[in-house]
Structure 1
Amino acid sequence: MTTTKDRSSRVGALEVHPFAHPQGCRSYLVGDPESRQALAIDPHLDSVGELGATLQRLGWSLRYVVDTHTHADHPSGAAKLAGRFSATRVAHPAGDHQGVKRHPADGDVLHLGDQTITVYHAPGHTPDHLVLLTPDALFSGDTLLIGAVARTDFLGGDAGQLFDSIHRVIAGLRDEIVLYPGHDYQGRTSSTIGHEKATNPWLRIEDREEFHRALTANPPRRPANMDDLLRLNREGTDIATSISAAAAVDRVRQGGAVSVFDVRTAVEVAEEHIAGARHVPLEEIVARADEIRAIPAPRLILCRSGKRAEMARQKLESLGIAGLTVMEGGILGFAAAGGKTEKGKPQMSLERQVRIAAGGLVVVGAALGWLVHPVFFGLSAFVGAGLMFAGITDTCAMGLLIAKMPWNRRPAAAVAPAAGGCAATAPAGGCAATAPAGGCAATPPGA
């Protein structure tokens, strides 16, 4: 699940259902209980299943799906959600999103029954940025965050335009207007315009040039996988379920190691690994699913040769996690394609352990069959049949069992945690309400 608890609230005549993603992203369902019509705002690809389940539970029809801007830090689920519910996609024309049917002008109105939501063009973070205003709430996307504002150093952003947008659209709003931002890393769901006027340091800067200087003085680093995500979000294409080792090498060289997670045993990782990858053993992926959600997409899954990575992908997709890509050929293919790895002390490989265990069981079965009772020959036959099955299906139950043994669960070699952590961390590629490395929030003024 993307959310930890139901934080739905009635804001005026409309009902708001927020969805918090471990990357710090926020998605929203806004519905009119009278007409049972709804719109979705900035759906994360991982959250599509949960948004859909909520719509069905409430009996709402989805009328619109809005991307407030072209996202650079996570995959949009707008195309998938709109397609599933035959909804109209909404985005600014400057975003050049394929499949969008409605491009609102500044001040255009969306209707949910008798209720109205006004769409304003608010460039600054990106040229195509929109904000949505109901009579009682502002959905600000990345323009205004809780205690922060958006960064403007990529995607054609402009600090002066952000200042203008804030003062034209937001600063004059009533203090009691509820603010729903596009991101937050502190576990917060909402604020109010009045609270932000009183506490947000960016809203206290009244001079445009001073705002511009402060916002551009110390930009964070780029979000992870930004170029891939921009292309995917504009084209609306699916994330590939696998990529070649050569393509993986290129992605890692461009800083994509933060999106790699390795499902091998600790012993295997200690022997050789990709610097910057996160270690999540195959048997732990369910328990650590939220940790995996926090890894910036597209997420690359790595094992020795690719088989365990595919098993992990299928299991995680069943949990509603999207944006998963298997690295074909695993660490062996990655190294053969020229990828840089870090090596530690050689360990006994899992494959070698399987050979020893299988051979030992065959010998024991044969010996007991001769010395004790012929029934023990069945042990040797069982192991032989298991090896045949493993060869035919390219799976190995014995290997999965041995991987759980204590000697294979020793602490792995030091591997840097992947960017994209949850509220307690500052992940690269986030759009936090503070200033995470690589996020879409600006560094606080004076920092």
Structure 2
Amino acid sequence: LNTKPPEAVGTLLVVPFAHPQGCRTYLVADPVSKQALALDVHLDLVDDVAERARSEGWKLPYVVDTHTHADHPSGAGTLADRFHSTRIAHELAQHVGVTRHPSDGEILHLGDQPVTVRHARGHTPDHIVLVTDKALFSGDTIHIGGVARTDFLGGDAGQLFDSVHRLLADLADETVLFPGHDYQGRGQSTLGQEKQTNPWLAISDRDDFVRELTANPPPRPANMDDLLRLNREGIDIPDTVSAEEAVRLVEAGGASSVIDVRTGAEFDAEHVPGARLVPLDKLAQRADEVRATAAPRLLLCRTGSRAAIAKKTLAALHVSGLTVVDGGIEAFRNAGGETEKGRDRMSLERQVRILAGALSLLGVGLGAFVHPGFLALAAFISAGLVFAGVTDWCGMGLLLAKAPWNQSSSENAENAAAAPAACAASAPTAGCAASVPSSGKVIT
């Protein structure tokens, strides 16, 4: 949650929200009328945006999506429902639930303050940007040091060139740039600064721009087709997903969205190739790693029980887009899903059964031969097993998960390598950013 005071940009106030995926969400408010709009709300950030708007005493007449997002789930519908806001997107987006489709040059009013909508084709045909007296909220047109990619969703590099240069011609160099993404932890720039340092803006010939932009497109965002369907149709991500559907998602390129919440030892024994290991007992410390993956995020364990607990834990940490793989990795394998197997390790559930049985036998033996009071141990273990069966929560299992033999020998190295990607990914590998042009040199 961004707790910094709102930044005054011209006559309006701006509160930015940064997501580990590199996405940017904004609240833009008029301090006099206390009317605000929310822009490009990531589903994970809905609670943060709502809490901040309420804490500032802002009404929220508008919730805006600059375009159909392909790399993350939109929270526009969820936030608009909470505040009874008007949802805004271009008519070409065809989003279910959008009630206002502004044309180029149409003005939204926050109190007496105008916010101008500009149609900016290029990244997508439905793309719009918002212009205030001192700021440009550029969505996926101009990024800090880059521009948007145009190789999917009907994007057009020539149209992006036209849109970018129209904005540069119409707006002053002092205009503050608030992009829809930044993958290197930067918050804002100015158009004047971008003219000096952005290699894409240095290309003045349209044909050269198109040739450079289309030459080496980055990889497609994970789960893109499913995210487009979710964002257009306003469908909620289900609480559970069948093993067959999980196999389809993984085979379509979504393996990086599989969050395996088993122990490291179980992961070493068998796992989905490309899955991320985040053990159940470490979820709170590593929630940002989950946020950095693309939704829908598939929570996986052996049978589905621990994944259900993980979903509740992550939801309490405002992580959304979660779905539990029904039946766990066993069902996934039986449904034809690919898994990698290593050295066979004893499952956590089996360890619980062995330890519970051993402690019960110990209690009975000590009760018979030492003192009857030891029978309470057997009774306590039995009661614990009943409790675990009723509540689907097993304290013994959580304790065993921390045991040294249940850790993965590769977990620390793997996660150390993966962590920087959340905030420091370079533009060439970013979901919606174009690669650096071969002829461009960034001036710093």
Determine the structure 1 residue equivalent to 2:377. Answer: 379
Which residue of the partner structure matches residue 352 of structure 1? 350
2:123–2:155 contact (8 Å) kept in structure 1: yes
Match of 2:195 among 194, 197, 214: 197
Out of 316, 329, 332, the position equivalent to 1:331 is 329
**Local SS of the residue matching 2:303:** coil
**In the aligned structure 2, how far is the partner of 1:390 from the partner of 1:211?**
61
| Counterpart amino acid of residue 131 in structure 1 | V
- Supply the AA of the counterpart residue of 1:425: A
Single out whichever of 263-272 and 407-416 deviates more from structure 2.
Answer: 407-416
1:156-175 equivalences under 5 Å are: 156-175=154-173
Contact 1:25–1:184 (CA under 8 A) maintained in structure 2: yes
Name the aligned partner's letter for residue 201 of structure 1. P
1:138 paired with 2:136, answer: yes
Please tell me whether the aligned partners of residues 243 and 328 of structure 1 are also in contact (alpha carbons under 8 angstroms).
yes
* Matched residue type, 2:356: A
1:398 aligns to 2:390 (yes or no): no
| Mapping of residues 395-434 of structure 1, within 5 Å | 395-412=393-410, 421-425=421-425, 434=427
Question: Equivalent residue for 1:442?
Answer: 434
Aligned to 1:431: none
Alignment check: 8 A CA contact 1:126 1:157 kept: yes
SS of 2:61's equivalent in the other structure is strand
Partners of 1:60 and 1:389 lie apart in 2 by 46
Secondary structure, aligned partner of 1:102: coil
2:72–2:294 Cα contact (<8 Å) kept: yes
Instruction: Using the TM superposition, give the Cα deviation of residue 363 of structure 1 relative to its aligned residue in structure 2, in angstroms.
Output: 1.9
Tell me, in whole angstroms, the C-alpha distance in 2 between the residues paired with 1:114 and 1:98.
Answer: 30
Q: Do the aligned residues in 2 keep the contact of 1:108 with 1:119 (CA within 8 Å)?
A: yes
| Counterpart for residue 97 of structure 2 | 99
Structure 1 residue 291: Cα displacement: 1.2
Give the superposition deviation at 1:412: 4.5
Partner of 2:33: 35
Structure 1 contact 259–419 (Cα < 8 Å) conserved: no
Query: Whole-Å Cα distance in 1 between the matches of residues 130 and 216 of structure 2?
Result: 29
Distance in 1 between residues matched to 2:228 and 2:246, nearest whole Å = 18
Task: Measure the CA separation in 1 of the matches of 2:302 and 2:169.
Answer: 55
From 71, 74, 89, the equivalent of 1:73 is 71
- The equivalent of 1:279 in structure 2 is 277
Q: Higher mean Cα deviation, 405-414 or 110-119?
A: 405-414
The answer to whether the aligner puts 1:303 opposite 2:301 as a matched pair is yes
State the one-letter code of the partner of 1:259.
S
Say yes or no: does 1:322 pair with 2:320.
Answer: yes
Provide the C-alpha distance between the structure 2 equivalents of 1:206 and 1:147, rounded to a whole number of angstroms: 16
The residue type equivalent to 1:436 in the other structure is T
Alignment of 1:111-130 (within 5 A): 111-130=109-128
| More displaced stretch, 354-363 vs 27-36 | 354-363
**Secondary structure of the residue that 2:309 maps to in structure 1?**
helix
Query: 1:384-404 CA distances to partner (integer Å, 9 max, x unpaired)?
Result: 222233333343221121111
Q: Distance between the aligned counterparts of 1:196 and 1:387, measured in 2?
A: 62
Secondary structure of the 1:203 match is: coil
Residue number among 217, 238, 241 corresponding to 1:240 in the alignment:
238
Higher relative contact order (CA 8 A, sep 6+): 1
Partners of 2:184 and 2:14 in 1: CA distance: 20
Secondary structure at the aligned position of 1:444 is classed as coil
For 2:251, the equivalent position in structure 1 comes to: 253
Instruction: For residues 390-442 of structure 1, give each alpha carbon's deviation from its aligned partner in whole angstroms, at most 9, with x where no partner exists.
Output: 3333432211211111211242578798799422235xxxxxxx2215x2111
2:206 paired residue among 205, 208, 211: 208
Aligned to 2:84: 86
- Aligned residue number for residue 342 of structure 1: 340
User: Residues of 1 paired with 2:364 and 2:280: CA distance?
Assistant: 33
Quote how far apart the aligned CAs of 1:290 are: 1.1
* Aligned residues of 1:259 and 1:418 also touching (Cα < 8 A): no
SS where residue 201 of structure 1 aligns? coil
Q: In the alignment, residue 444 of structure 1 is paired with which amino acid?
A: V
Q: CA RMSD in A?
A: 1.7
Deviation at 1:8, TM superposition (A): 3.0
* Native 8 Å contact 1:274 1:341 kept in 2: yes
Given the two structures, how large is their TM-score scaled by the length of structure 1? Answer: 0.95
SS of the counterpart of 1:358?
A: helix
Rounded Cα–Cα distance in structure 2 between residues aligned with 1:278 and 1:423: 17
- Which residue in 2 is equivalent to 1:389? 387
Structure 2 unaligned runs (5+)?
A: 440-444
Which amino acid in structure 2 is aligned with residue 391 of structure 1? G
One-letter amino acid of the counterpart of residue 37, structure 1: Q
Deviations along 1:142-181, one digit per CA (max 9) or x if unpaired, are 0000000000000000000001101112344211100000
AA aligned to 2:429 is P
Corresponding residue pairs, total? 437
Aligned to 1:269: 267
- Map Cα deviations across residues 274-303 of structure 1 (whole Å, 9 max, x no partner): 010000000000111111111111100000
Tell me the amino acid that sits aligned with residue 434 of structure 2. A
Asked if the contact 1:295–1:419 (Cα under 8 Å) also holds between the matched residues in 2, the reply is no
Identity within the alignment, %:
61
Q: TM-score scaled to structure 2, two decimals?
A: 0.95
Deviations 1:55-81 (A, max 9, x none): 110001001111000000000011111
Code of the residue aligned with 1:98 in structure 2: it is V
Q: In the aligned structure 1, how far is the partner of 2:291 from the partner of 2:434? A: 24
Q: How far apart in 2 are the matches of 1:7 and 1:36? A: 15
Rounded Cα–Cα distance in structure 2 between residues aligned with 1:140 and 1:420: 26
2:403 maps to a residue whose letter is M
Cα distance change on mapping 1:56 and 1:7 into 2, 3 Å:
closer
Distance change (3 Å), C-alpha of 1:7 and 1:219? farther
